Amino acid sequence: MNKQKKMLDGSYGKAMNAMLQCTRHRGPDDSGICNFLQDSERLFVSHDEKQATSCGRGILGFNRLSIQDLSEAGHQPMISPNGKVVLTFNGEIYNVQELRTELLKQGVVFRGHSDTEVILHLYLQYGFDDMIRRLNGMFAIALIDGLEGKLYLARDRFGIIPLYITENAERLAWASEMKAFSCLPDFRGELDMDALSESLTYIYPTNVLYKNVESFQPGTYCVFEVNGWSCKTVEYFNLDEYSQLQTYKERNLYERLKEVLQDCAVRQMISDVKLGVQFSGGIDSTLLAYYVDKLFDRTQGTLCGFSLFNSEYSQCSEEKWIHHAADRLDLKLNKYDMTKECFAQNYEKALFAFERVVSVPSPMGIYEFSKHAKKAVTVLISGEGADELCGGYEVFSAQKALDVLNHVSAGKLGGIETSFFVNFDKILDGKYCKELYNGFSVEHAVERRRNLWDSLHGTRFDKLRKLYFQESLITLLERQNKICMANSVENRVPFLDNEMVAFCFRLPEKYLLHPQYRKTLFEEKGKRADYCYQGKYWLKKLSAEIYGPEFAYRKKQAIRVPMREYIKSPGFEEYMYDLILPGMRKRGLFNMDIVARWLNDLDHADYVTGLWKAINIEAWCQLFLDGRECI
């Protein structure tokens, strides 16, 4: 969109075509373009897509992955019946049936049954603010009202669907993937050094590596007054409004959890195309698979589950538990082996899709199973968000122990120390980052986290969950979305359904973080056993009822590979020496003496992590700054 009262030149029309081609994987089923022309003080929409790329005040394009209403009635950009409003919508709305029923009672006539059309009519009936607050779903929305001369951009409550913006004095552009901006004639990619430091030390940093690109904030929308170009940001959802309710009655509350989880599964199974489940073998994905399996329409065939295992390193595989859970369901299990060759072949593809540093091996695994899943389904249900929502990480247990000690010591331990904000989500110690990169500093990140923490309300458990939602979950969700969409597969996350999030944040803490008897090694030597705190307690209790206690209460494990062996594998080592290390030397970001020292001592775990981070950042620079094609 041009920020001045003048027409875009023809180069932007060509750029739009290139941007759509660049992100075609996100919507291979249909594509559309329209533009906006200036008539006195008003905008009006051009309906002729053949002329839409010539010139105008703004151009809007969309690639569609057809999920609900596969007909032409779901085509986007979608233009209102009066021809004055145009909408693009990426995502899914799960309360669409009740919203459509409400609109039908008001006399609205629909052309089809897409959720996009429901959103458009909600806007026409209620305006943008009322419309956005009614939605239960995942979305990125762009809406232009020609009569009002306004552009609206919005992102869902938790950041499930990515949305990025870049602007200069002349224009504003937005997209679901940053790589699209490289098609703009005036875009110059530049590395953000603060984001570089965060990417070195943290697993899921919030800042993007482009200096002149921002990730749109979840739970907000922006209103741009096109004439005069003013901007207003509105926060339509704030997670901090949630707090534990002390008036909950314990009776039947556990049964209510089951109902909420099943209701979320029902809503998120809405689809006109085939649907499957991401089946990691963990608590969260197998719980959702249980409910989806119960509700699945068998006329569509057998429910498909997609899993990863590791035949080369059984200690890094959950194959045993995958089969344990699958045997209790009517599920067609599709397993894929995370071999060294698979790791090397998928690495750059996963990094290019994610558009961020690949800190852990999960993205390569997601790329692998989504690539195969596309042959059978278009939608995958996954368990992302449960750990952040229900206290599944070990840090939740640690903070609870600190709470107890603080109570016993009458508060003498004090509050959260600076080291907590430094170490939150950290994978590589700062001293190694400083050796590698002389400009390393995470002061901005630490200050941002402390300020966020100080602004939050609730118990330490509540605040820690909210910190996770805003500091790492957003990036984790972007990873899940973008890597699956690289293979044209939509990924859904029922644990982040509006109702589920509200229910779990209001639950008394004891139902999620529960004292648990733990036998220790010291007990064998005559010392006492102790207590720990079990995160996701009620989810594990429910899982134990379905899959058994041994399955539910085992130690948490994510997708893992022995990184040292995988880096040293022939395929990856050749790639590293031929492309990455020469690029590092030429770029001059990193201390190559340190890189050489780490390469010669990969028995040191921190050296492996540091080398892996350096490889990732150099590969990102080659793909996104130098413009090298992904291999």
Strand 214-215 vs strand 303-309: parallel, antiparallel, or unpaired? unpaired
SS3 assignment, position 430: helix
Tokens of 624: 């996104």
With pLDDT > 70 as the criterion, what percentage of the chain qualifies? 90
Please count the residues of the chain: 631
Check residue 47 and give its pLDDT. Answer: 55
Band of residue 316 on the pLDDT scale cut at 50, 70, 90: confident
* Residue 458, Ramachandran bin (φ over 0: left; ψ between -120 and 50: alpha; else beta): left
Q: In what order do the strands lie in the sheet with 214-215?
A: 172-175, 164-167, 214-215
Say which amino acid occupies 123: Y
210: β partners: 191
Q: Let me know: does 253 contact 146? Beta carbons within 8 Å.
A: no
The gap from C-alpha 219 to its chain's centroid, in whole angstroms, comes to 14
Strands 275-278 and 58-64: what pairing?
unpaired
Domain that holds residue 39: 10-192+211-237
Residue 597 forms part of a structural domain: yes
Residue at 244 is within a domain? no
**pLDDT tens-digit map of 494-518:** 999 999 999 999 999 999 998 865 5
Is the residue at 604 inside a domain? Answer: yes
Angle formed by the axes of helices 362-373 and 340-354, nearest 10° = 90
* Number of domains into which the chain is organized: 2
The 10s digit of each residue's pLDDT in 521-575 is 334 444 444 557 889 999 999 999 999 999 998 877 666 788 999 999 999 999 9
Do 154 and 132 meet the contact criterion of CB atoms below 8 Å apart?
Answer: yes
**Does a structural domain hold residue 529?**
no
Question: What whole-number distance in Å separates Cα of residue 36 and Cα of residue 30?
Answer: 21
Q: For residue 55, give both structure tokens.
A: 């010139």
Express each pLDDT in 477-493 by its tens digit.
Answer: 999 999 999 999 999 99
Residue 182 lies in a domain: yes
Per residue in 439-449, pLDDT (tens digit) is: 999 999 999 99
Q: Residue 45: which CATH number?
A: 3.60.20.10
170-181 pLDDT, tens per residue?
889 999 999 999
Distance CA 151, CA 259 (A): 39
- 432 belongs to a structural domain: no
388-394: average pLDDT: 94
200 vs 219: CA distance, rounded Å: 28
DSSP-derived letter for residue 509 is G
Q: Give 286-314 pLDDT, tens digit per residue.
A: 999 999 999 998 877 899 999 999 888 87
> Within 10 Å of residue 588's Cβ, how many Cβ atoms?
8
228's tokens: 């005069």
Share of the chain above pLDDT 90, in %: 76
Question: Tokens representing 504?
Answer: 């779990």
Q: What are phi and psi of 183, to 5 degrees?
A: -80, -15
CB neighbours (10 Å) of residue 52? 23
Radius of gyration of the chain from Cα atoms? Answer: 25
Is residue 441 assigned to a domain? no
How many C-beta neighbours within 10 Å does residue 222 have? 18
- Judge residue 586's burial from the number of C-beta atoms within 10 Å of its C-beta, 0-12 exposed, 13-18 middle, 19 or more buried: exposed
For residue 502, what are the contacts with CB-CB under 8 A and spacing of at least 6? Answer: 242
d(CA 464, CA 474): 15
Residue with token string 């859970």: 325
pLDDT, tens only, 344-375:
999 999 999 999 999 998 999 999 999 999 99
The helix or strand, by DSSP H or E, that contains position 379, with its residue range, turns out to be: strand 379-381
H helical segments located in 383-536: 386-390, 394-408, 418-423, 430-436, 443-455, 460-468, 474-485, 498-506
Query: Does 358 reside within a domain?
Result: no
- The torsion angles phi and psi of 368, rounded to 5 degrees, stand at -65, -50
